[in-house]
Structure 1
Amino acid sequence: MTIRAVFFDVGEVLVDETTEYGTWADWLGVPRHTFSAVFGAVIARGLDYREAFQVFQPGFDLDRERRARAEAGQPETFDETDLYTDVRPCFVNLREQGLVVGVAGNQTTRAEGILHALQLPIDVLGTSDSWNASKPSPEFFERLIAEAGVPADHILYVGDRLDNDIRPAVDLGMKTAVIRRGPWGHILRNNAATAILGADVEASCLFQLDSLVSLDSLVAEHNEAARDAV
């Protein structure tokens, strides 16, 4: 099957979240390197990343604290400088192939507004807040399929997490690509995630990437081979 649409997660796929993790450490009043160490340990154990916040503030509620930060004039934010440099060229090259390009991730309404303001060369933008569904729920990916306007097996979803991105997308028949950067990428490079989630999850990925630089070429090669096989 050819790929007719490519959708991307946001955090660590498009946006380097290093600065944002640092601002959460500042908000909690702990050294940034301490927060980073605990965050990494939580991920390495295959736990929900939000448990890292509980170490420093028992009963921590992420949604409540996001609102508190906004009210205090310190909202979560990112800008062009946090966007990975390979993102825009990848989007442009994929669209030149006639593909639908979309962004869909677990993000707030505020983050969706920032993404709109960045004026990325994409066709679809959706977030968990605007879709009223979040990964890894089937409802999120069913909405993605509807927005793509093509059957699931013609969609490639690019994510950095096997549990939240790859497994649920595969379960609904989509093709997947995992990118190994950011906190979850470090775990992937060291095979810890495979040990936690099972080798079959990573093996189900059509592509395994360290950046988006070669993705457009890989998609073009895949589609050419798929057409030749018909």
Structure 2
Amino acid sequence: MIQAVVFDVGETLIDETRIWSRWADRLGVTRLTFMGVLGGMAALDRSHRDAFEVLRPGLDVEAEIRAWRLEDPDGLRENFNAEDLYPDVRDSLAELRKSGYQVIVAGNQPVQAYDALVAMDLPVDAIYTSDGWGLAKPAPGFFAKVAEVSGRRPEEILYVGDRLDNDVLPAGRAGMRTALLRRGPWGFLHADRPDAAACDYVIDGLGELVGLLGSPSPSTPV
């Protein structure tokens, strides 16, 4: 029986539209062009970082981020804040906690994302990032760490994310239950693939979770 619900961050909780729009402006291409190339990377199972190579061959992304930080130290740049939360996030997380679920955020994010998420005062029990752990999805160690910090057996955890490759398939291999969210470029493309049948749930919004899960039964943490 599911006792804990763990959420990915980008395009699960956070709408990344403004982030990618700022990158388009930074690189001097139209936002449509940047978004189109990014979607192409998703369709081709390539990293989002490859979009930068397509648009600006040879670009050192980390050096560009450092230069951007110096030029605009007070701006959001490649980061996010509470304005980027999807509209269904707060209510859905609150409903899950009210129903008795342990709610955790754990995704592939840089160190500064932790502070940004904490500042949002989300109705969650804990927040973790890959950079904070030194472990990143889809590595098995990431999902083992999720189970460890939750104090739950893998089969008592539902991992919710927008990607098959990074989120739900490796979570499933770790013994967790999974929900694929049809949100963002990867979410829509991946939900249309045969492998999506391996997910326990395919959902169109976070508000569906409470109705699907009901209330957890009593369980003794491991």
1:95-137: CA deviation from partner (whole Å, max 9, x where unpaired): 1122110001111111111101001011110001101011111
SS in 2 for 1:101: strand
Aligned counterparts of 1:14 and 1:39: Cα–Cα separation in 2? 19
Counterpart pick for 2:85 among 73, 83, 86: 83
Aligned counterparts of 1:36 and 1:167: Cα–Cα separation in 2? 25
Q: How does 1:140-219 map to 2 (within 5 A)?
A: 140-188=142-190, 191=192, 194=193, 199=194, 201-219=195-213
Aligned counterparts of 1:49 and 1:71: Cα–Cα separation in 2? 24
Compare 74-83 and 118-127 and name the one that shifted more: 74-83
SS in 2 for 1:208: strand
SS in 2 for 1:69: helix
Q: 1:123 to 1:202 in 2, by over 3 A?
A: same
2:214 paired residue number: 220
SS in 1 for 2:214: helix
Structure 1 residue 188: deviation in Å?
Answer: 3.2
- Give the partner amino acid of 1:187: L
- Give the partner amino acid of 1:46: D
Structure 1 residue 139: deviation in Å?
Answer: 1.4
How big is the alpha-carbon RMSD for the aligned residues of Structure 1 and Structure 2?
1.8
Aligned counterparts of 1:50 and 1:11: Cα–Cα separation in 2? 14
- Give the partner amino acid of 1:153: E
Structure 1 residue 49: deviation in Å?
Answer: 1.7
Length-normalised TM-score, structure 2: 0.91
Length-normalised TM-score, structure 1: 0.88
1:66 paired residue number: 65
1:26-72: CA deviation from partner (whole Å, max 9, x where unpaired): 11111111111111112112222211110122233433333332222
Structure 1 residue 79: deviation in Å?
Answer: 2.2
Which segments of 5 or more consecutive residues in structure 2 lack a partner in the other structure?
Answer: none
Deviation >4 Å, runs of 4+:
none
Structure 1 residue 93: deviation in Å?
Answer: 1.0
Q: 1:114 to 1:220 in 2, by over 3 A?
A: same
Whether 1:40 and 2:34 are equivalent positions in the alignment is: no
1:125-179: CA deviation from partner (whole Å, max 9, x where unpaired): 0001101011111111111111111000100000000000011101110000000
Whether 1:136 and 2:130 are equivalent positions in the alignment is: no
Aligned counterparts of 1:91 and 1:20: Cα–Cα separation in 2? 23
Q: Aligned pairs, how many?
A: 216
Counterpart contact for 1:12–1:182, Cα < 8 Å: yes
- Give the partner amino acid of 2:160: V
Whether 1:116 and 2:138 are equivalent positions in the alignment is: no
Counterpart contact for 2:169–2:199, Cα < 8 Å: no
Greater fraction helix: 1
Which segments of 5 or more consecutive residues in structure 1 lack a partner in the other structure?
Answer: none
- Give the partner amino acid of 1:218: L
Counterpart contact for 1:70–1:76, Cα < 8 Å: no
